[in-house]
Amino acid sequence: MDYRKVERQLSLVRGVVYKNLLENYMPLPVDRSACSRWTKDLPPSGQTIIYTSYMYQLGSVFKSYAKLLERFSGVKFATRFTFLGGFLIRPKREELERASLILNNIVALLKESSVQVAYLYDEEPYSGALLLELGLLDEFREYGRRLLSFFDGRGIIRVITVDPHTTNALLRLKTLLKSNLEVVNYLQLIRHSEGKGSFVMHDSCLYSRYLGLGDVVKSVLQNSGVTLVEDRMVTAQDTSTCCGAPVESVDEELSEKIAKARAMKLTSVHKNVLVACPLCYQNLSPHVESIRDIAEVIR
């Protein structure tokens, strides 16, 4: 195995992504206003917020980390990339439209369960999950201090997350920095929902094998009327595997191969695949004809 490329990618993440986070609370220079247009109806401040961490809006951008970092791999260019105020990555229109439907549905589901939320719009910071998942623990801790201070400064005491990576990152920060911030995933708050159809569920690794939320996800779906098709060799806790997304930023080829293999297993069980994570959606969708997020299926 030639690890030189992996080392180069990690070095770029440290150099480019971390610097951007410290300066802009974003891993890459992204058009934040475009990402926050999915709602105008939520109050911009409050003690409880819905926290998207841009995961649905920027799923394809996060998937293209490797390519983006590759593009800006020259030292001079990397510096420009960090500080170039005018240059902004804009997500695709159709992706923003899909994210809007998903996020508005999540807000509606929370309202149905009597949970009112505020939203930080284009002030919303990124969680730092990428740093944690690449083992850049010093950087994650340092950025996390700023993030928690940011929340604290706005009087936020409860954060409702919408994806597994952000949920995991914030819960780790709570432990690492001994914060009192309440972190809860929206799926834990849903009291009632309706859905239909049959699917094979691609477990989120973090929900299922780290956060103890695998059963929560499945019971929300089953209570809503959705049928999940199980297969011992594909969907059990010890046979379900990652979609490959977490390694995309350091080894794109490996990530693709893992995604393709996982998609083949899933579609051997059922043609309709269901995911609970925007990165799983991004990684698996090129290899699956019919794939939907949980928040596109329950209402």
Partner 1 sequence: MNEEWSEALDRTIVSVVPKFDEILKEYPYIKDYADKLTQIKLGVLDHLDEYVKMTVESVEKSGGVPHLVKDKNESQKVVRDICGKEGMVLFAKSNVALELEIRESLARDGHEVWETDLGEFLVQLAHEHPSHIVVPAIHMTKERIGKLLHDGLDARVSSDSTYEELVASVRKFLFQKYINAKVGITGANAVAAATGSVVLVENEGNIRMDTVIPSTHIAITGVDKIVPTLEDAFLEAQVQSAYAGLYPPTYINVTSGPSSTADIESKHVTPATGPKEFHLVLVDNGRRKAVGDPDLRNALLCIKCGRCYFTCPVYGTLGYDWTQPPYGGPMGAMWSAIIDDDTRPANLCTHSGGCKVVCPVQIDIPKVLEHIKWLDSQKNR
C-alpha span between 169 and 150 (Å, rounded)? 15
Asked if 288 is part of the footprint of partner 1 (rule: CB under 8 A), the reply reads no
- Residues forming beta bridges with residue 48, ordered by sequence position: 158
CB 208 within 8 A of CB 219: no
Report phi then psi at 136, rounded to 5. Answer: -85, 70
Binding to partner 1 (CB under 8 A) within 4-33 occurs at 6-7, 10-11, 14
Binding to partner 1 (CB under 8 A) within 115-144 occurs at 132-138
Report in angstroms how near the CB of residue 1 gets to partner 1 at its nearest. 5
DSSP 195: B
Q: Which of 124, 163, 251, 252 touches partner 1 by CB under 8 A?
A: 251
Of 208 and 285, nearer to partner 1 (C-beta) is 208
Binding mask 173-212 for partner 1 (x = CB under 8 A): --------------------------------xx-xxx--
Q: What angle do CA 21, 33, 278 make, to 5 degrees?
A: 70
Of 86 and 212, nearer to partner 1 (C-beta) is 212
Of 208 and 282, nearer to partner 1 (C-beta) is 208
DSSP 49: E
Closest-CA residue to 64 (of 283, 278, 263, 254) = 283
Asked if 215 is part of the footprint of partner 1 (rule: CB under 8 A), the reply reads no
141 by Cβ neighbours in 10 Å (0-12 / 13-18 / 19+) ranks as middle
Q: How many CA atoms lie within 13 A of 161 on its CB side?
A: 26
Query: How many residues touch partner 1 (CB under 8 A)?
Result: 38
- Other beta carbons within 10 angstroms of residue 108's beta carbon come to 13
Which region among 3-11, 40-48, 88-96, 107-115 touches partner 1 (by CB under 8 A)? 3-11
Note the residues at the interface with partner 1 (CB under 8 A). 1, 3, 6-7, 10-11, 14, 132-138, 205-206, 208-210, 232-233, 237-242, 244-247, 250-251, 254, 257-258, 261-262
